[in-house]
Amino acid sequence: MTTKTVPVVQEIMSANDSLAEQNRERLDAAGLLGINIMASPGAGKTSVILRTIDALKDTLRLGVVEGDTAAVTIDADKVIGAGMPAVQINTGGQCHLDAVMLARALPALPLDELDLLIVENVGNLICPASFNLGTHANVVIASVPEGDDKPYKYPNIYRGIDALILNKIDLLPYIDFDEAYFRQGIEALNPGVAFFTISCKTGEGVSEWIDWLQKRIV
Amino acid sequence: MTTKTVPVVQEIMSANDSLAEQNRERLDAAGLLGINIMASPGAGKTSVILRTIDALKDTLRLGVVEGDTAAVTIDADKVIGAGMPAVQINTGGQCHLDAVMLARALPALPLDELDLLIVENVGNLICPASFNLGTHANVVIASVPEGDDKPYKYPNIYRGIDALILNKIDLLPYIDFDEAYFRQGIEALNPGVAFFTISCKTGEGVSEWIDWLQKRIV
């Protein structure tokens, strides 16, 4: 089986990379920053996006691409409810977004009017790491209830990312979570990566994330 | 690309199903119950397994297969620490277990001495749903911090499972989680599925899960 499937997978990967390059050119031509947000289901991707919209809505224009495995538009509806354009990619059960899907979704957004494009990947701590989308930055959101051992168990997704957001720190009093152990795991995989501890519920720490983001947009 | 990849995938799927049948025969020959536990990263798969071991250790013999994407043996070490045999499948970055991997792992356990085999799948709410392992029952563990909308967003994994465990109910006072909405989503996908609300931290609700499991073993 191996001799048959590997060449096909390689072909898919290189096709993905060349389409990712085209996506990047398209974002650059529109003069916007594109970021790809990856996380486990329920880590708070949409909550971080809504906090980001709330912080930036008076000065910048954001657009969001929502990756979902099913047709429900729960997350896209929230973004639209917050006053920003959103488009959903329904992957039809697929476990990640790829550059082809993003290329197809981009024309549905008014790219030339945007300053920032946020892509919310499918909730999955494994597969999205393998597919370059062409965005300028990759961000992983971890959350306190997931546990402090995740960098050790799911290392690939933390490699090569530009920022790590640890969300749900409001739950720290109720959960055994060793932040030093977690950070040590992240540092071993990705030394010096930007690291933010936040609570989307209380708003704690959100401004540091926004500062980092704004510096990249300007 | 589609015409090239689809036949290969179908071939893999049917090869998987026939190996899953062989796994089932092997478990039946050893006279044990095999269950496959699936969940998001950090939902509490290992914690449920440790609670299960603790509840049954005086009357039954358990073995555990730990599916991990990396070489770290954090979970397997915990099972062995609890006095039961465990074997790790390192998927090498792969996002799910399949029947081939399980077939290779089974000889490392003393199957004839066991009453119950628990397979802890890779932490992923999407891909494991597509691969029959040959176990007698499939169980999904959800957790309160993941959010009440997961059945609507990741429907495939809840279809056809035999039991759903909602873990971390000790966190309900601190999180907006509408249990009725969550249950409604599960019921729509899988009417009448066995449903357990538990806290591995406090032990609440664990005995109902153990009762259900014991009835299947005897």
Q: What is the ipTM of this complex?
A: 0.91
DSSP secondary structure letter of residue A134 = -
Mean pLDDT of chain A: 94
What is residue A141's DSSP assignment? E
d(CA A141, CA A120): 11
Using the Cβ of A212 and the Cβ atoms of chain B, whether some distance falls under 8 Å is answered with no
Q: Which of A5, A12, A124 sits opposite B1 (nearest CB)?
A: A12
Interface test with A, best of B5, B10, B126, B169 (most A CBs within 10 A): B126
CA B126 vs CA A94, B34, B35, B96, B159: distances in Å: 8, 21, 18, 9, 12
Distance between CA atoms of residues A118 and A113, nearest Å: 14
pLDDT score for B5: 54
Q: What is the mean predicted confidence (pLDDT) over A125-151?
A: 97
Q: Are B150 and A45 in contact (CB under 8 A)?
A: no
How much is the pLDDT for B3? 45
Section A112-135 average pLDDT: 97
Which residues, at least 6 apart from B124, have a Cβ–Cβ distance to it below 8 Å?
A: A95, A124, A125, A126, A127, B38, B40, B41, B95, B96
* Optimal mutation site among B90, B121, B152, B154, interface A, most CBs of chain A within 10 A: B154
The Cα–Cα gap between A83 and A86 comes to 9
Listed as ranges, residues in chain B with pLDDT below 70 are 1-9, 218
Q: Does A172 touch chain B (CB under 8 A)?
A: no
Nearest CA distance, B111 vs chain A (angstrom): 27
What value does the CA radius of gyration of chain B take, rounded to a whole number of Å? 17
pLDDT at B11: 72
- Give me the count of residues in chain B: 218
Q: Is B175 on the interface with A (CB under 8 A)?
A: yes
Chain B nearest-CA distance from A131, in A, is 14
pLDDT value at position B1?
A: 38
At residue A211, the pLDDT reads: 98
Give the containing element (helix H, strand E) for B25. helix B2-30
Read out DSSP for A7-54? HHHHHHHHHHHHHHHHHHHHHHHHT-EEEEEEE-TTSSHHHHHHHHHH
Whether A14 shows a pLDDT value over 90: the answer reads: no
Q: Are the beta carbons of B95 and A126 separated by less than 8 Å?
A: yes
Asked if residues A210 and A183 have their Cβ atoms less than 8 Å apart, the reply is no
DSSP for residue B165: E
Q: Does A178 touch chain B (CB under 8 A)?
A: no
User: A147: which chain B residues are within 8 Å (Cβ-Cβ)?
Assistant: 41-42
**Chain A residues touching B41 at Cβ < 8 A:** 40, 125, 146-147, 150, 153-154
The answer to whether A141 and A43 have CB atoms below 8 angstroms apart is yes
Percent of chain A surpassing pLDDT 70: 95
Q: What is the CA angle A159-A119-A84, rounded to 5?
A: 150
Q: So what's the pLDDT on residue A209? A: 98
Distance from the A217 Cα atom to the nearest Cα atom in chain B, whole angstroms: 31
B36 Cα to chain A: minimum distance (Å): 19
CB A13 within 8 A of CB A45: no
- Whether A104 and A98 have beta carbons less than 8 Å apart is answered as no
